[in-house]
Amino acid sequence: MEFTAQQLGQYNGSDPSKPIYVALKGRVFDVTTGSSFYGPGGAYTMFAGKDASRALAKMSKNEEDIISSLDGLSEKEIGVLNDWEKKFEAKYPVVGRVVS
Rule CB under 6 A: which residues touch ligand HEM?
31, 34, 37, 44, 55-56, 59-61, 91
User: What minimum distance in Å lies between the beta carbon of 29 and ligand HEM?
Assistant: 9
How far apart (Å, rounded) are the C-alpha atoms in residues 19 and 8? 11
CB 33 within 8 A of CB 93: no
Is 62 or 99 the residue whose CB approaches ligand HEM more closely? 62
Give the list of residues 6+ apart from residue 83 with CB closer than 8 angstroms, or none: none
Is 86 or 91 the residue whose CB approaches ligand HEM more closely? 91
Is 27 or 61 the residue whose CB approaches ligand HEM more closely? 61
User: What minimum distance in Å lies between the beta carbon of 34 and ligand HEM?
Assistant: 4
User: What minimum distance in Å lies between the beta carbon of 91 and ligand HEM?
Assistant: 6
User: What minimum distance in Å lies between the beta carbon of 59 and ligand HEM?
Assistant: 5
Query: Would you mind telling me the total number of residues written for the chain in this entry?
Result: 100
Max CA pair span of the chain: 39
Strands (E), the chain: 2-3, 21-24, 27-30, 94-98
